[in-house]
Amino acid sequence: MIKQLRSVVAAGGAPATPGASPRAAGERARVRPVVVVVPVCLAWVLLLCLAQVGVGTQRLVVVPWLALAPLAASLVVGPRATAAVAAASVLAVAGLSGWGSGDLGTGTGEVRVAGSAALAAFAVVGAHVRQRREERIRSVTRVAAVAQTAIQHPVPARVGDLALASRYVSASADALVGGDLFDVVSTADGVRVVVGDVRGKGLPAVHTAAAVLSAFRHSAPLPGTSLADLARRVEAAVAPRLGPEDFVTAALCALHPDGRLEVVLCGHPSPLLLVPGREPAPVGRRPGPPLGLGVEPRVESGLVLPGQRLLLFTDGLLEARDRQGRFFDLDAAGRALTAPGRPGGGDVQEALDADLEHLLADVRRHVGGVLEDDLAVLLLERLPGALAHAG
């Protein structure tokens, strides 16, 4: 089954976790280098002085090396800490010149001390410039984080008769989102879901993903819009901004209150239906062309009953490989995600969140900790008693 899904991806083409505040994390990140780097640099100054004394003080052979201490500090810590190291370095040069060679009052000694002071001052200025630049980058990063969160936010914990959990893992260390996307919208006839993957990376992919999500959020709740119509509307909205070789794979789902599931695959891997006691089964086996390449939506049907789960994902999960080139075992992962019976639906949301965390941990272990592609995963479960309320 998984081999079939991977062949679909080959043919088709293409979170926010609670934690400490960014300000607190940034303060801790700035404190640690000061605690470590400054003592190391000062120890370097002391060791060089002791080494000079050990080899004799008639010729000053370590003075140029003393400049490394403030220069190294300027690469890591702020101007104040760098100034402390710089002062120690200049004092060491002056001390060695006066006590060691006895030429502090001569032109040679004065030039030596002046040169060391100039290098020390350069290091302090360099630390100040670097710190200002880092502050600007942090400010821009915070703005980008807010913008990215507005584009791709975690889905609600519950929509209609469904409990949901989602995760987004960007392959870029400097980005929260990329070209993968997902969203969930409540409609008069149930819940509609999209999971997609934009061809390409970087800002163009983020812009296209934002356009897909905007079109989906606008069109999905419209009365009388079938799932096939929704696919056409989304493509019509994003096609003008796509290049000749650009496209978006997507899986569109409609979950009705009576348990019916409709799926339209636009070059995207099939969602997996997870039923206790059964093997994970793909829903939909006839993907059409991706968005942007002339969609031909084919609506395929399934059934999601209370206690059963549906896993939607992008090919970052399907094509995750270890160092030997072996694919991630999605069948085994699907079996692990199969929901046991929980009378009354107790702790469904906690179980969904925990299971997704375990899934991502398994993926990271499989790939050796570094993802080569963005990964979006959405796990939903129909709540017990939902069909009775629908009836």
Q: Can you give the pLDDT at residue 43?
A: 79
In whole angstroms, give the CA distance from residue 159 to residue 107. 81
Range(s) within the chain of domains with CATH label 3.60.40.10: 2-14+154-201+247-390
- pLDDT for position 343: 45
- pLDDT band of residue 173 (cuts 50, 70, 90) is low
**Which CATH number applies to 2-14+154-201+247-390?**
3.60.40.10
SS3 state at 300: strand
Q: What are phi and psi of 264, to 5 degrees?
A: -120, 120
pLDDT in tens, 32-70: 666 777 787 777 777 767 766 665 555 665 667 777 788
For residue range 349-385, what is the model confidence (pLDDT) as tens digits? 888 888 989 998 888 888 887 777 778 899 999 987 6
Given a contact cutoff of 8 angstroms between Cβ atoms, the answer to whether 284 and 362 are in contact is no
Pick from 22-26, 205-209, 318-322, 370-374: least confident: 22-26
Instruction: Give the integer Cα–Cα distance in Å for 370 and 40.
Output: 31
Average pLDDT over residues 296-320: 89
Q: Given this model, what pLDDT does residue 7 score?
A: 46
- What phi, psi does 250 have (nearest 5°)? -155, 150
Give the closest residue to 197 by CA, choosing from 265, 129, 254, 258.
Answer: 265
Q: What's the pLDDT score for residue 14?
A: 39
Cβ atoms of 313 and 179 within 8 Å: the answer is: no
Under a CB-based contact definition with an 8 Å cutoff, are residues 72 and 123 in contact? Answer: no
DSSP 99: I
Give the pLDDT score at 18: 34
Q: What is the pLDDT of residue 345?
A: 44
Find out whether 206 and 197 touch, Cβ atoms under 8 Å: no
Average pLDDT over residues 85-91: 82
pLDDT, position 219: 92
Q: Which residues contact 248 (CB under 8 A, 6 or more apart)?
A: 14, 196, 197, 198, 199, 208, 209, 212, 238, 242, 266, 290, 291, 292
pLDDT band at 108 (very low <50, low <70, confident <90, very high): low
Range among 114-128, 134-148, 200-214, 261-275 rated most confident: 261-275
Which range has the top average pLDDT, 77-91, 197-211, 269-283?
Answer: 269-283
Best mean pLDDT range from 74-88, 248-262, 353-367: 248-262
Q: In this predicted structure, what is the pLDDT of residue 97?
A: 61
Task: Enter the tokens of residue 79.
Answer: 């101007």
- pLDDT reported for residue 10: 45
Interval 216-225: pLDDT, tens: 999 999 998 9
| 92 or 310, higher pLDDT | 310
Q: Which amino acid is at 366?
A: H
pLDDT of 22 higher than 50: no
User: Stretch 331-344: mean pLDDT, rounded?
Assistant: 70
